Structure 1
Amino acid sequence: MIFTETAVDGCWIIDLKAFEDERGGFARTFCVEEFAQHGIETNVAQANMSWNAKKGTMRGMHRQIEPAAEGKLVRCVRGTIVDCCLDLREDSPTFGQNVMVELSADNRRALWIPPYCGHGYLTKTDDTEVMYQVSGMYTPGAERGQRYDDPAFGLEWPGEVTVVSEKDQNWPDWDGKKIR
């Protein structure tokens, strides 16, 4: 695997190192040792999948807090999304910064979202499927979220949001702590 640091501390783009021949290809998508070498928590507690019918579907911005903080390894296995990591860790040197990365079935790229960071994505194509490996158990009482269009963050999504859940539309404004 090829690990590329991003502008958000602890958030990594992970590209595959593929081996190809006349049969097709093979690549490792996860390795405890390689992840640990990059300071990435490697405990996988759950694996999840989402599928989205329409281009313009927004999911996010989600995170979990103590006692159930979770990191996420996100990969799009069908279609194309733009995935976002928003640093909401007040003690982080990159607090308030974000990274947006295109993940697709074609580029086979993944994004590591560190614990306590907000996570969301926008579908760029119809019929997308997204796989997540998460380091903590989903705990509804520890779930938090912010709107994808909260003015405190200034997120610039590369397309129109046409489908979003009521829950994601109704997350509160950022609580006033300085972002920028």
Structure 2
Amino acid sequence: MLADDQALVRGALAAMLGLEPDIEVVAQVSSGDEVVPAARASSPDVALLDVQMPGKDGITAAADLHRELPFCRIVVCTTFGRPGYLSRAMAAGAVGFVVKDAPPEQLVDAVRRVYAGLRVVDPALAAESLATGQSPLTDRERDVLRVASSGGTIADIARLLSLSQGTVRNHLSSAIGKTGARTRAEAARVAEDRGWL
């Protein structure tokens, strides 16, 4: 099963995988919200999920899929090879992580290997992930930074997250310190670039 919001990319992946005699694409979806229903209907052995999709992102969809259909092996296939995405994807139940600029044969090999029960991770990204380490942000700091990245005021963030303005300021201050940023916008950008959001 393929999940990617870009029809051209999804179609190209389906065509490429369809050329392999031992691989059949049984479902294609364009949003994270469609992943579990499509998987229930088609019972795929392997699901390739993009990270950034409308509705649920690919990592949230991977966690839902892993919980609902644990037999389905999940590979995150994304343009955004960020260390934080790798660790979050693996924590969500993915057993593979490949970047879209990898050679086609590498993606085909990844599908075969995860189907066989192995884990597959882009080696350069694995090394970068080890060097960068885990996200230092708490769940609440991530929530506050996500909302702050849209440019709202402290009052807007507090209202959206049902927090006091003082609590929002504390979380932003902590996130700014942990990312080594000078402003909340810079903290959100650093966290996004590292795949922590």
Which structure has the higher relative contact order (CA within 8 Å, separation 6+)?
A: 1
Determine which structure has the larger helix proportion and give its number. 2
TM above 0.5 = no
